Amino acid sequence: MLERLKTLSIKGIAWSAGESAGVALFSLVVFTLLARILEPQHFGVVALAGVFVFTFNLIVGHSFADAIVQRVSIDPDHAETAFWTNLAIALALAGMCFAGAGYAAERLGEPALAEILPWLSLVLPLNALGIVQMALFRREAQFRAIALRSLLGRGVGGVVGVGMAFGGFGAWSLVGQQLSGSAVAALAMIVASPWRPRFRFSVLHLRQLWRFGFNVSASQLIGGVGEQALNLVVGSLLGSVALGYFNIAWRVTQLVRSLIGSAVYHVGFNAFSRLQENRDAAVRAFLQATRLSCLFGFPIGAGLAILAGPFVVAMFGAKWENSIALVAIFALELFAAFYAMFFSACYRAMGKAAWTLWLSVLHVGTGVAAVMAVSPWGVRAVAAVWVAKSVLLLPVHLALLRRLLGVKLAALARPVGPPLAASALMATALAATLAVAGGTVAPATLLLTAVPAGIAVYVAFIFAISPELLCIAARTARIMVAPEGASGADRS
Q: Which helix (H) or strand (E) holds 12?
A: helix 2-37
The radius of gyration of the chain from alpha carbons, rounded to an integer in Å, stands at: 23
What pTM does this model have?
Answer: 0.73
- In Å, how far are 201, 388, 447 from 306, measured between CA atoms? 56, 18, 11
CA distance 214 to 354: 9
Q: How far apart are CA 125 and CA 329, in angstroms?
A: 40
What pLDDT shows up at residue 276? 78
Task: Determine whether 207 is exposed, middle or buried from the number of CB atoms within 10 Å of its CB (0-12, 13-18, 19+).
Answer: exposed
Condensed to tens digits (0 to 9), the pLDDT of residues 365-400 reads 898 889 889 888 988 998 999 999 999 999 999 999
Residue 93 has pLDDT above 70, yes or no: yes
Q: How far is CA 484 from the centre of its chain?
A: 26
Per-residue model confidence (pLDDT) at position 486: 47
How far is it, in rounded angstroms, from Cα 185 to Cα 128? 11
- Per-residue confidence band for 110, with pLDDT thresholds at 50, 70 and 90: confident
Chain-centre distance for alpha carbon 386: 18
pLDDT number for residue 490? 39
| Stretch 409-428: mean pLDDT | 93
Q: How far is the C-alpha of 293 from the C-alpha of 465, rounded, in Å?
A: 18
What's the mean pLDDT when you consider all of the chain? Answer: 81
pLDDT for 203 equals 83
For 121, 124, 382, 428, the CA distances from 94, given in Å and listed in that order, are 5, 6, 36, 53
Is a pLDDT exceeding 60 seen at residue 401? yes
**Cβ distance 317 to 237 under 8 Å?**
no
Lowest mean pLDDT among 196-200, 239-243, 262-266: 262-266
Residue 334 has pLDDT above 80, yes or no: yes
* Closest among 177, 121, 449 to 314, alpha carbons compared: 449
d(CA 344, CA 359): 9
Tell me the pLDDT tens digit for each residue of 419-447. Answer: 999 999 999 999 998 888 766 788 888 88
- Residues 481-489: contacts with CB within 8 Å, 24+ apart? 481/14, 484/11, 484/144, 487/7, 488/3, 489/3, 489/4, 489/6, 489/7
Residue partners of 131: CB distance under 8 A and separation at least 6: 60, 61, 64, 65, 82, 83, 86
Question: Pick from 176, 182, 179: which is nearest to 149 by CA?
Answer: 182
Residue 97 in contact with residue 64, Cβ under 8 Å?
no
How far CA 22 is from CA of 27, 55, 137, 390, in Å, comes to 8, 23, 20, 29
Of 140, 134, 156, 149, nearest in space to 60 by CA: 134
Give how far Cα 76 sits from Cα of 129, 130, 186, 187, 204, Å: 17, 16, 20, 21, 13
Q: Interior CA angle at 341 toward 338 and 347, to 5°?
A: 150
Percent of the chain with pLDDT over 90: 26
CB 171 within 8 A of CB 46: yes
User: Minimum mean pLDDT among 57-61, 93-97, 411-415, 473-477: which range?
Assistant: 473-477
Alpha-helical runs (H) found in 167-239: 172-192, 203-238
Would you place residue 24 in the very low, low, confident or very high pLDDT band (cuts 50, 70, 90)?
low
Residue 489's alpha-carbon distances to 2, 4, 7, 12, in angstroms, are: 9, 5, 7, 15
pLDDT tens string 120-156 = 999 999 999 988 888 888 777 777 777 777 788 888 9
Phi and psi torsions of 466, nearest 5°: -150, 70
Please state the rounded mean pLDDT for residues 323-334: 92
* Average pLDDT rounded to a whole number, residues 105-113: 81
- Name the phi and psi angles at 17, rounded to 5: -65, -40
